[in-house]
Structure 1
Amino acid sequence: MSDGGHSNPATESHWLDWLGWASEQGVAVPDDAAFAEARARVWEASEFFATATARHPGDFAELIASGDLERAYGEGVLAQRLEAALAGVADELALQKSLRLFRRREMMRIVWRDLAGFAPLSETLEDLSELADACIRQALDRLSDWTHAEFGTPRDSAGRPLRLVVLAMGKLGARELNLSSDIDLIFAFPQGGEVTDGPRRLSHEQFFVRLAQRLVQALATQTVDGFVFRVDTRLRPFGEVGPLAMSFQAMEDYYQSQAREWERYAMIKARPVAGDPADRDQLMLMLRPFVYRRYLDFGAFESLRDLKRMIAKELYRRGMEANIKLGPGGIREIEFIGQAFQLVRGGRDPDLQVRPIRQVLACLADKRLMPADAIAQLDAAYVFLRLVENRLQAYRDQQTHKLPEDAAGQWRLARSMGFADWPSFAPVLEAHRRLVQQQFDHVFAAPDTHEEPGESSLNGLWTGTHEALHDLELLEQAGFADPAAARIRIEQFRENTARKGLSSRGRDRLAQLMPMVLRVIAASEQPDLVLERVLRVLESVARRTAYLAMLIESPDILAQLARLSGMSPWFTDQIGRHPLLLDEMIDPRRLYAPLRREDLESELDALLEHLDADDLEQQMERLHQFAQGNMLRVAAADLTEAIPLMVVSDYLTEIAEVAVARVLRLAFAHLVCQHGHPTSILGEDSGFLVLGYGKLGGIELGYGSDLDLVFLHGTERVSAMTDGKKSISNEQFYARLGQRMIHMMTTRTASGALYEIDMRLRPDGNKGMLARSINSFAAYQESDAWTWEHQALVRARPVAGDRRLAERFGAVRRAILCRERNPETLRDEVRTMREKMRANLDKSRDERFDLKQGSGGIADIEFMVQYAVLRWAAAHPELADWTDNIRLLETLTRLGLLPGHAAENLTDAYKALRAVYHRSALQQQPKTVPLDRLQAERTRVREWWRVLMESGE
């Protein structure tokens, strides 16, 4: 291989020495071209490998003979081989020697495969990480036994022996260890106490500190055989001054009250590598809320920006621009990009709670949090830079990240990376670093809080540094119709927030945010109205500095908030009560594109995926967030006419159906764990069915609608019992299932309630059983139900539950609706019920018309449709196919059952009344309108009521 004058005579002499040794020992040397080429590349790139071969020729000979240089290890091979290597170890000195010899052999193998091009980066990082994991675990196992024998055994309150938990941090935690990396470790133990069965009493802390010290010594002490891994324990609570091992409780106290912001970033990669599995899980569950906040934590951008600024300042001071880890466009900037998104969104999106940075980047691409081409560039840069890092460290097995300045070192690095020379390598490296820095600068760009040239300065309005007349002039110029009122409102807000006792960071963020807020409000169509509504939201979130950071970092949220606030007070009311909904405004593409059923299911899967099956509170919280967030999107798309008004109810109904189905699934799984499955049931799954009546059944839900539900089950034998250890009757099981569902949907958590539930439409109303068998329901409908209950059945349909039971209900419903009825009797009963309802519920008064219950309103149309279905379904069974009024009117038109233009007129009136009803909900106005509105529609509805329900036509 031509070296261009830069070859290293020392490494080549090591090769000649080894060849001489091999000849003396009768060791065969591979004579194939592939080996020769790989050998030349390795010797050229790694003085460490050449020297190790000269000093320990038998290791290289064994590696060749075993074939390990040519093959990747399978899962668990390293651990098995280390177990064999440590089989005869009886004391710490022997342990240290065996670990070092094993590490030397495996490092030679890993370096060879890396430099020869036999192993991709992923294999190299995985092998290095697995080597460290195996050494930690197996050294700890032996040291634990010896320490127990010497000092006794720590036990918990139940007498269970306790084991040390080892947390790997940094690159080892993410299984991304490089060729010459420290390993960052934190040591913990489950609980405090005393060891009482040893020669003298020791606290658990004293015991585990000694054990941790022994482990660090076994791995890091420099002996004649070198070291295994350098160990850094400074990431532990309180750093170097803190105890080497801490109890879980002490760690929790520290991270809740004293940990610094950078410790959150470090903890992202924390991975337990040793300890009892249950203890490891408990520790990670305890640490997760510290790392991943339940809200979108945009303050992470600000903190990481500050941390990067400190690193850059230190690098500049040291003149370390050539550092490929910490320098501009280096590995750390890629990690910061990933960590920023993890810290901001990981609490809400558990998919981001992964450790390896390449997995994080792939997740960002999948979720479209960054452009796919940007992610591809970052991933390619990361692979390239990590390969460079390994090549730098493979040269002398030293922990370095600095590019060589000498010509020989530059040539050697370029060649090891597959380039002919430095001039061909350097531009590629620079291109990767430049792209990384561009992406980093884009992600971490400080928000622009400065006003445009020529723009009226609104800063003084917030700080109160202007004279009153000057403020009034500014507000008038900004477009406020009542500048005096606007100024008073701003002053009130400033005083209110001052009284809230904000932290210094909160005050700083509010001072940074408010000029932006005032500019956005001034640019809106109705500044006076928007000011009042937006400030109301800000008052509700002012003490939560993370939300202030979110609004600063994402000005788009402010813009959407101002826009939608001007259209509807419903938005500011919802967001004021549930600030988590601000998250929905980050991406306008998502905000104005509500989801349909399949995507709703996927979103809910993601929200619930990582929750404990028994964590009812968090399940309810996530369900509430799901429903509220998706309703907000529907309302945003509705107001901006991104979706037609007539499909708004379709979207809202699907949200409810997905939520109810998931509540059923969770509640059923919980009860099955307690009592087993019901037996002797009709059905192929739960044997349970949720019926939607009213607006839910009619696919006509509005904003804030209650859900009218009826629960049925498929029990076919009254004495049937569940099949679990704590068996109960099917009747009890399904009653408890219904109760748990209602509890999950109606209990108020921090995010409010999921839905209000009305169960009064079940057989026998509030006096009836909460869940009724399908056979009992059928008998009731056949013999005991009132006409109004058959009317309600017109709008009843399955919304969740067992498919076979749904089919059975469909047959029962059709049989009831298609019964022969006396038209006169039916008309009288329907009319009488409508008159009673109007007398009790109609809120038409004081020149206002009740959209639903007033004469000529929505309920009149619904009653006429129900009457028509019950009258003609016996002759026309297709009238039992639908539950929504529009399609039922279309069917009545097609069948020619209504006189004249009745169906057309009623359809138009129904749409018009429903549209105003929806808008009233969004404007938080009463569901009444002035008497002069919708007069034509109401008149036609009243006329058709007289024709159909009073004249007898």
Structure 2
Amino acid sequence: MTVPGRRSSTFTRLLRHGFTDPSAAEQLLETPELGPVRDDPVLLDALGATADPDLALLGLVRVVEAQDADERRTLLDTLATAKPLRDRLLGVLGASEALGDHLARHPHDWHALVTYEAADLHPGVAEFERGLAGATDPVALRIAYRRCLLAIAARDVCGTTDVAEAAAELADLATATLRAALAIARAEAPADASQCRLAVIAMGKCGGHELNYVSDVDVIFVAEPADGFDEGKAMQAAGRLAAHLMRICSETTVEGVIWPVDANLRPEGRNGPLVRTLSSHLAYYQRWAKTWEFQALLKARPVAGDPELGRAYVEAVSPLVWQAADRDNFVADVQKMRRRVIDNIPAAQVERELKLGPGGLRDVEFAVQLLQLVHGRSDATLHSGTTLDALAALAAGGYVGRADAAQLDAAYRFLRAMEHRIQLYRLRRTHLVPEDEADLRRLGRSLGLRTEPVVSLTKEWKRHASVVRRLHEKLFYRPLLDAVAQLAPGETRLSPRAAAHRLEALGYADPAAALRHLEALSSGVSRKAAIQRTLLPVLLGWFADSADPDAGLLGFRKVSDALGKTPWYLRLLRDEGAAAENLARVLSAGRLAPDLLLRAPEAVAILGDPDGLVPRGRAHLEQEVLAAVGRAESAEGAVAAARGVRRRELFRTTAGDLIGSYGTEDSPAEEDPGALVDRVGNAVTDLNAATIAGALRAAVRAEWGETLPTRFTVIGMGRFGGHELSYGSDADVLFVHEPREGVDEQEAARAAGRVVAEMRRLLQLPTAEPPLLIDADLRPEGKSGPMARTLGSYEAYYRRWSLVWESQALLRAEVMAGDTELGARFIELIDPLRYPVGGLNDEAVREIRRLKARMESERMPRGADPTLHTKLGRGGLSDVEWTVQLLQMRHGWELPGLRTTRTRSALAAAHAAGLIDTEAASILDEAWVLATRVRNGVMLVRGRAGDTFPSDGRELAAVGRYLGYEPGHVGDMLEDYRRLTRRARGIVEELFYGAHL
């Protein structure tokens, strides 16, 4: 009897042996049935060696209690004398609650754990078939399957087999089970069986000999009519047999389920027929299959049914598998599928996802399969469906560095072992690392981590996942550097042909040039070369993820040639994680941003500053430009300095736009395209306004010093005034002046004319900087009128001669540079014109509609597709802007919200005032934003402005990437554009041309 308050010696021993509830364990040990072994120290040691001693003891009590007297005596005697059985039975009971339940229901199945001979260590399909023999119905098959599973689990938890061998045994057991299920199906439908030849092809982990304890078993069915039978009826019979086989394995009975049989990898997936002939399979793969389907076929293996037909299937599809890497967008397709898998994981589970999350098992499998498909075209040694065997072959062939392969092998084995033990506990299909402390403790102990198992498990898991994340990219790109490096004699490296294959698969159009760039960047023993060798594997991945990898790599070489000896540049790329990725994204996105950067490579520092991609405001820019102008010794030097600021800030804006559109690993793409458009429009507008202010100051100083004889202001018009400039837009302006006191009006006019001419001359000087063209054609009398007018002259002209289109143009007038007080008076002058009291009369509305219709018919470029022209086409910028402007002119006098130069703000105000319903406003806004983004994207990609989508395939793909479309989906992009602008045009026809204004 234990004295209250004092622990018994048994309690202490149990605690020392790893029991977490010694009190409950003491009571279980008092179970009468355990009498013969209760005091055996060997039993306690064996229980303490299990993953969960408490669970093992409870399971043992249940198993012993389930025996009859004679069987119980035999079991206990064997437990006491036979270490192999003791270790295996208790090991299983301590690791798997589900198998403990099975042994309690089927108490004689413990005999399956007694045998411990050489043949038992690594059984194959034949041994498992013998184990399933006699199972003639689904229930008996489940019992026999679990009995076989007991032996696999025992070998696994006792370390008799490693994780790869256990996975292969599980795949062999699945093979034997499929054969047994097919035999049952045939026996129940002999007429169907006689009409057809049916082969079962294992896919996925079963096909790859690397199955989990609990997993869907992926299959494809192929059939042919038996001799003398009609094909149609034979295929129907084969379909019934296949469906019956699936039910036998998948349906839940009193003994539970074996595993689901999944045939969704077949052609057309669940929408396609369950069974096809061999010729039908081939026809599909040759014409319609996607890249991922060939990737899946890499693991195809005949496992059941007609062996000759199964072999014929694999022999027929195998050549197609090894041609997959020649497909357009091959690598992009594979990477896209991987990203899609990660994106579909619930956010709360990503960090616990052992299989699908970043650094998980799927990363290893995808990387290995990608390399197999690229290099397996010319190297048959890589044709293995088993991940670790394929990884070893890749290392042996020099396609993967041996050290990298060894680290990846170890990480994969550890992660698979975790997955196995998680599933083994309750025999449930899961890949989530548990959160419960007790579950983590059992999991850690099952993997041999006995000292602080929870802490040790978490540490090891994170370490291996980190290795996988790091090597996932390096595995593919590092050997490309080794291929051009001077390796020690005898070291394995990619052959030039293999390196070219890999670069082609990555999307490089000129692999020979790419290899030359890699050699130039990474060869030698300098610090620069060492850092480049570290950076390039990751950079190559980012370049490959773009529409133009060649341009990205070439641009990086040029920037590195210019800055490679600059210490801060190498330090920036090495230490600032975002800088290198930002640089890669910018260099491979098109021509404009790289051209800006290469004119002044030091601007790359912007990419390492957390705030570096945020555009500077107009006040800041104007202050910097005017200061630079003040320091210059000549007008030409002053404008050159202003243009230098503009170039740098234009690079900042383009880089921010690209990164915001594409995103990075740490910062996803910006979700609101409208915000990106507004940011670009404001930034380019402010930048051009500051540049014009600088040119104005330079022109005045050149002839008049600090003070011009006439006050002078620059009014922005069109997109300039609307803060909606694209990268390639001209700056529409009006020039307004007013003589200073005591200055003759003619003298003032001559001064104003000369300053305008000098500003234009300075801004048009030949230079490597991006041009800024100012256009004054919207002035009174157009090209026939004076470039600059006094405020009084404007007032007289508008009072006597102004046409409705001129009032419409003034809707976007805003002060941009020069005398702000004079500019404010000009705005005050024109407000009654652009927002006429009482709105427009019917004649003015008809005139605006007539002008719009005339513009549509006369100004569309010959041969242009009106459904894809962003400015003048259906539902494009002009449609939306004219509709909004008509609303402004009719209602601006009474609705202050409409008195804005910005299209989107005016549209929002019209919606708020009830002039346009929510759906229509949303469609018009979305169409305007998309058309603007297309124009920006075209300029970014081509380096020159354009109002329609590029005709060149690579340029079109690059615009697609900018707009958020995955590679290979430019057709979707064009169709989406047409669909949205078609809807926008319908609204324009109702609002602008109809009677609803």
TM-score bin (small chain): 0.3 to 0.5
Larger Rg: 2
Q: With the length of structure 2 as denominator, give the TM-score of the two structures.
A: 0.43
Q: With the length of structure 1 as denominator, give the TM-score of the two structures.
A: 0.44
